[in-house]
């Protein structure tokens, strides 16, 4: 077959002298048949290329070149497949990071609303006096929750910055892989073209002497491929670890906030219960004092009536005694009527003095009860104001309902729109 190819080509034969190899008695040299190394094969290719002559008539060179081209095509195709799979993994990782960013952004918005609500609650509680605030556990818990929410927000915002940096790094390595994948695709086309090139096909390339491309070493090429693969794997591993840590941090933040919110709610509940109980006691005390004042007022009215009756009787007895004292001569004597009227006058004066003393004490007691009532009403007003403030704060906190299972909801949403997310991710990398 090769003889026919040579005859058809009608090219002059080179004056090549073939000689048999020198025989050796060394058994090791005779028996050894070690395969050529890659470096040796590459040197042979370079020698063949630099000859600049048509060596298609040389069977061994043709077979080696085709084998090298096929091997090279297979190797580049394998790297293409690996890079394609890595790029798909990068796209999935970027999609996961972007979904996580949406979750964190939603949580940060929720925390911002919570901060505004806590600020409103603290403003409401600040209407109380400093003396009350210094002993108010609700105010202390609200301040703790506000500080905790602020600190958690700062931590998450810093994590978002890191997340964006990782997305940028993943997109950058994805772009590098895409460029390299494109170059490998072009390389496989040229390799295949070289493998399928007909012998008599005119070449469009410039002569060998004028065409001097810039080559890199095979080791440099292989190192470049491995470096890209390693860098992408490291970035994906780091990104996956970061996502897990961020989710864990978010779960811890949510649990800490829930515990603090429970403490705040518990402090509010206890405070409102205590204030309600005190209010009921003060209302009962005020009613009791009001009833006592009413009874005391009635008693004073009764005493006044008795004093007026006693004064009337005294006036009547004194008038009768004056009439009796008008008897003439020896008739004006200390007889029984005179003695009886005199004793009656004395008793009425004594009774009147006792009634007036009792009335004075009743007035004093009534004044004290009025003062006591004022003190109770002042306490009741303060307790009522504090109770209204705490109840308003409780109502404000109850209006805020944080989203439940945000991560699960967004993850399910991503699964439902998997096709859309995948296409949008490809557009993002383009």
Q: Is residue 375 assigned to a domain?
A: yes
Q: Is residue 96 assigned to a domain?
A: no
Q: Is residue 70 assigned to a domain?
A: no
Q: Is residue 345 assigned to a domain?
A: yes
Q: Is residue 271 assigned to a domain?
A: no
DSSP letter (8 states) at residue 331: G
Closest CA to 105 of 59, 151, 153: 153
DSSP letter (8 states) at residue 204: -
Closest CA to 246 of 146, 169, 161: 161
Q: Is residue 107 assigned to a domain?
A: no
Q: Is residue 248 assigned to a domain?
A: no
DSSP letter (8 states) at residue 22: P
Give, for all 430 residues of the chain, the pLDDT tens digit: 333 333 334 333 333 333 333 333 333 333 334 444 454 455 445 444 444 444 444 455 556 778 888 888 888 889 999 999 999 999 999 999 999 999 999 999 999 999 999 999 999 998 888 888 888 899 999 999 999 999 999 999 999 999 999 999 999 999 999 999 998 889 888 888 888 876 555 555 555 455 557 888 889 999 999 999 999 999 999 999 999 999 999 999 999 999 999 999 999 999 999 999 999 999 999 999 999 999 999 999 999 999 999 999 999 989 988 898 888 888 878 889 889 989 999 999 999 999 999 999 999 999 999 999 999 999 999 999 999 999 999 998 888 766 544 443 344 444 434 444 444 444 444 4
Sign of CA dihedral 264, 269, 272, 275: negative
The domain in which residue 378 lies consists of 286-397
The structural domain count of the chain equals 1
Q: Is residue 171 assigned to a domain?
A: no
* CA 267 – CA 257 distance, rounded (Å): 15
């Amino acid at each position: 077959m090769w003889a026919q190819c040579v005859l058809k080509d009608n090219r002059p034969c080179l004056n090549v002298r073939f000689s048999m190899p020198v025989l050796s008695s060394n058994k090791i040299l005779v028996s050894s048949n070690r395969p050529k190394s890659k470096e040796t094969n590459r040197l042979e290719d370079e020698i063949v290329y630099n000859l600049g002559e048509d060596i298609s008539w040389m069977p061994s060179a043709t077979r080696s070149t085709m084998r090298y081209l096929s091997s090279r095509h297979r190797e580049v195709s394998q790297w293409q497949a690996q890079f394609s799979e890595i790029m798909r993994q990068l796209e999935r990782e970027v999609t996961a990071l972007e979904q996580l960013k949406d979750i964190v952004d939603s949580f940060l918005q929720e925390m911002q609303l919570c901060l505004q609500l806590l600020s409103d609650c603290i403003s409401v509680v600040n209407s109380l006096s400093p003396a009350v605030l210094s002993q108010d556990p609700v105010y202390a818990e609200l301040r703790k929750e506000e500080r905790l929410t602020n600190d958690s927000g700062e931590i998450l915002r810093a994590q978002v910055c890191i997340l964006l940096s990782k997305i940028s790094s993943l997109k950058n390595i994805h772009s590098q892989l895409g460029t390299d994948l494109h170059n490998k695709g072009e390389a496989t086309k040229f390799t295949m073209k070289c493998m399928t090139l007909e012998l008599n096909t005119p070449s469009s390339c410039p002569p060998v002497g004028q065409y001097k491309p810039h080559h890199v070493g095979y080791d440099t090429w292989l190192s470049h491929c491995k470096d890209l693969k390693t860098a992408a794997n490291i970035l994906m591993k780091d990104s996956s670890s970061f996502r897990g840590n961020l989710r864990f941090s978010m779960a811890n933040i949510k649990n800490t906030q829930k515990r603090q919110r429970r403490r705040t709610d518990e402090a509010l509940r206890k405070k409102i219960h205590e204030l309600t109980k005190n209010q009921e006691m003060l209302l009962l005390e005020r009613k009791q004092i009001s009833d006592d004042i009413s009874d005391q007022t009635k008693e004073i009215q009764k005493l006044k009536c008795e004093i007026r009756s006693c004064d009337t009787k005294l006036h009547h007895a004194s008038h009768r005694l004056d009439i009796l004292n008008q008897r003439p001569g020896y008739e004006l004597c200390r007889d029984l009527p005179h003695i009886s009227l005199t004793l009656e006058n004395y008793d009425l004066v004594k009774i009147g003095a006792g009634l007036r003393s009792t009335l004075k004490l009743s007035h004093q007691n009534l004044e004290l009860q009025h003062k006591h009532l004022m003190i109770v009403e002042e306490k009741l007003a303060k307790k009522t104001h504090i109770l209204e403030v705490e109840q308003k704060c409780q109502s404000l906190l109850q209006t805020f309902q944080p989203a439940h299972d945000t991560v699960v909801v967004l993850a399910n949403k991503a699964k439902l729109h998997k096709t859309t997310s995948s296409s949008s991710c490809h557009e993002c990398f383009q």
